[in-house]
Structure 1
Amino acid sequence: MDLLQRAEAVCLNKLDGGFKNIVPDIVQAVRRMNELISLWLHSFSNLECVVDATSHIVDLFQAETLFPKLIKLRLESLSNLKKVCCGPPLLLFFEKLQELHVSHCPMLTSLFPKCVARAVLSLQKLTVKSCGELKNIIDEDGDGTINQIISASNNSHSAFSQLKSLTILDCHKLEYVFLNSCAQGLVQLEEVCIQGASQLKYAFGQHEDEHQEFQIELPILKSLELHGLKNLISIFPKNYLSSCPCLRKLRWVRCPKFRASCVNIMVGSNINMDNQLYSKVSAPLSFLKLEKLEVKGCSVEDILFPLERDVFTETNSQNKLISLLDTLELDNMPELKFVWSGPMGTVSLQNLRELKVRGCNNLKMIFSPVILKSIQLLERLVISDCNELEEIMCGIE
């Protein structure tokens, strides 16, 4: 027991003894684990939660002595785990937790109740894999509210305000990732990967609300990957005013209900043009900042999103929009008709180096002559299984 008290990294694998939680059951036996930095729990058949704050025994522990240094928590193959934390926020447990990895926990329906949201204020990396019953990250029906708890703790930060990386894989009952209130505080988020969540309708937020608008800014989000989300409608509900000005990589694969037009909103930002010529289309123009775009198995008709012709004046020939796109990959898109469907001569793809087009049977032409003239750095062009393709560029067969 003395070794556990002094240990900085602990892995408990297939531990028997009927323990249903770490706190208070195991910590009570050890007495304290003040030096613990990394905790890995694997294959506990009886474990139902990590911290059970409903137990009266928890009152015996002082907040400052319960995992005061814990930074990493890994939970794997816990067949009966229902929650990471449960009960009222009696303790500031996991106050410094930066990384949480949860995988193969088939009974887990949510990670935290609302009342424990303050415990994850330092969380930077969250990974959830193969949790078949998971419906949400924060239990909306939990006791208390996030705002009440944060206010009570005199903390001005929102839950997940330090989160940088989010990965969710094979959680097919996931209904939403973040509550509307949490989604507004993701100012440090840099990368998101969601794969195999067949019930998910929106990557951020819960549902559309005609009577309330939410402002969400993801100022440093650089990478967004969406894969195998058969019910995904959009990144955000319609009532979200959203901005992702730094998005560089966008990948969406096998999202048949995903609306291409929603990308215009999702990557929207206020682009300062000297003459304000394009102020009406500031949101759609944000795709120009993308460096890598990969779209597979989606029902969209155009990729480089159409712009309204009436926003361009006679001076547009002197104000070409320069795309940063380096790699463009299009695969298995039977409804794709255009790669670019905006007004000719308004965009330059001068940074494009690699273009792959495969299985796009409605596509008849890749680029217009004006667009193709701007492609000076193209190094690799791969086209296959496009049965209706007539021209690589208009006028040249």
Structure 2
Amino acid sequence: MTEDKGGRPLQDIVLQRLQILRLKYLEKLSSFCPENFVMSLSLKEFEVSSCPQLTEFKTLQANLKDFKELLCNVRILTMDGIMYHKNLIPSVDPQGLNELTFLTLRDDKALECLIDTTDQGHVSTVPLLPNLTSLKLKSLPELKWIWKGPSHHVCLQSLEVAVISRCNKLKYLFSQSLVQSLVMLEQLKIEYCDELEHIATELEIDDNIKSDSGFLHSPPLPKLTSLEIHGCPRLQYVFNVAKENNGVDNAILPPSLEKLTIVVCPRFAKFIIQQVVHKRLQLKVILYSFPYIMV
């Protein structure tokens, strides 16, 4: 839309009540709106996908003020091939996209991390993405980190579903402290991440936390019921195999796990379930394709 009914150029577009905006499979769409416009602050759902000719969003994102206003109250965000920043937070919203509940990012060649907290002056000190329940990151060839820098203010306490696919520069997904915040995560699927070595960073002595059972480490992801990993050739283990004080190697699995799938992970050396955790497991489905399994 560039002109009104009388053929006069439109300087502003005002969409005060617009709550849902979806642009999908529009192969010839090249223009969304003029450079100067006012976007609805009531927008709750925003999706742009499969619009290969749509380049104006690059200009929009360059004018970060307008882009931040566009997304400030969005709860559902899907962006397919139109992300032109190296990070989502703080570049898009330093306050942490606090209203966001569903996030899908696909086919974005510039994105290096979801959250960058290395520059504390530009990141909110309140929890980031506190209401996010679904996270899907797919075909992000430059993505190296889910978060970069201190994770003290990153709190994915509401996250229930996470899907990570074809992010070939990721070596791990979460820090140990971030894993401890994932108390609601129920489904985790990882596929075709060529450089992935661990789901979580390695345990250190400072990470050791005694659980109510007296066991040295608190079981991670207490509500996780489904864990699927496909085609990760460098994956060495699901969760860190850490040495206890007696020098014994141990690994911990989520206590509520019902479905476990690990396929085509040739470097996966061993799979150990500690006895104290094994008694509580309710595994109903196990699909695996790797050399050794020790239960």
TM-score (norm 2): 0.73
Aligned to 2:4: none
Aligned to 2:287: 294
Shift, 1:243, TM fit: 5.0
Matches within 5 A, 1:360-371: none
Q: Structure 1 unaligned segments of length 5 or more: list them.
A: 20-24, 151-157, 266-280, 306-397
**Distance in 2 (alpha carbons) for counterparts of 1:175 and 1:250:** 21
Residue 94 of structure 1 aligns to a residue whose secondary structure is coil
Shift, 1:118, TM fit: 2.8
Aligned to 1:247: 257
**Structure 1 position 173 matched with structure 2 position 169:** yes
Aligned to 1:130: 139
Shift, 1:129, TM fit: 0.8
User: Would the alpha carbon gap of residues 209 and 86 (structure 1) be closer, same or farther in structure 2, given more than 3 Å must change?
Assistant: same
**Distance in 2 (alpha carbons) for counterparts of 1:46 and 1:66:** 14
**Structure 1 position 283 matched with structure 2 position 294:** no
Shift, 1:249, TM fit: 0.4
Shift, 1:107, TM fit: 2.1
**Structure 1 position 108 matched with structure 2 position 118:** no
- Structure of larger gyration radius: 1
**Distance in 2 (alpha carbons) for counterparts of 1:32 and 1:174:** 35
User: Would the alpha carbon gap of residues 227 and 4 (structure 1) be closer, same or farther in structure 2, given more than 3 Å must change?
Assistant: same
Aligned to 1:84: 88
- Does the CA contact (< 8 Å) of 1:45 and 1:80 recur in 2? no
- Does the CA contact (< 8 Å) of 1:39 and 1:72 recur in 2? yes
Shift, 1:119, TM fit: 3.4
User: Would the alpha carbon gap of residues 79 and 124 (structure 1) be closer, same or farther in structure 2, given more than 3 Å must change?
Assistant: closer
> Quick one: which of 30, 36, 45 aligns to 2:43?
36
> Quick one: which of 194, 200, 208 aligns to 2:196?
200
User: Would the alpha carbon gap of residues 120 and 132 (structure 1) be closer, same or farther in structure 2, given more than 3 Å must change?
Assistant: same
Q: Aligned pairs, how many? A: 256
Matches within 5 A, 1:1-397: 2=13, 4-12=15-23, 15-16=30-31, 29-42=36-49, 43=52, 44-45=54-55, 67=71, 69-78=73-82, 80-87=84-91, 92=95, 94-114=97-117, 115=123, 118-140=127-149, 145-147=150-152, 150=153, 159-203=155-199, 205-209=200-204, 212-213=207-208, 215=218, 217-239=220-242, 242=252, 244-262=254-272, 264-265=273-274, 281-287=275-281, 289-296=282-289, 298-300=290-292, 302=293, 305=295
Residues 155-184 of structure 1 deviation map (CA, whole Å, 9 limit, x = unaligned)? xxx611100000011111112212232111
Residues 219-260 of structure 1 deviation map (CA, whole Å, 9 limit, x = unaligned)? 211100011111111122234974512111001101112233
Q: Pick 1 or 2: higher relative contact order, CA cutoff 8 A, min separation 6.
A: 2
- Does the CA contact (< 8 Å) of 2:132 and 2:159 recur in 1? yes
**Distance in 2 (alpha carbons) for counterparts of 1:77 and 1:185:** 30
Residue 240 of structure 2 aligns to a residue whose secondary structure is coil
Shift, 1:51, TM fit: 6.8
**Distance in 2 (alpha carbons) for counterparts of 1:220 and 1:175:** 24
**Distance in 1 (alpha carbons) for counterparts of 2:31 and 2:194:** 35
RMSD: 3.4
**Distance in 2 (alpha carbons) for counterparts of 1:107 and 1:88:** 14
**Distance in 1 (alpha carbons) for counterparts of 2:83 and 2:92:** 24
- Tell me the amino acid that sits aligned with residue 40 of structure 1: E
Q: Structure 2 unaligned segments of length 5 or more: list them.
A: 1-11, 118-122, 210-217, 243-249
- Does the CA contact (< 8 Å) of 1:52 and 1:86 recur in 2? no
Aligned to 1:340: none
- Tell me the amino acid that sits aligned with residue 227 of structure 2: L
- Does the CA contact (< 8 Å) of 1:101 and 1:126 recur in 2? yes
**Distance in 1 (alpha carbons) for counterparts of 2:264 and 2:59:** 35
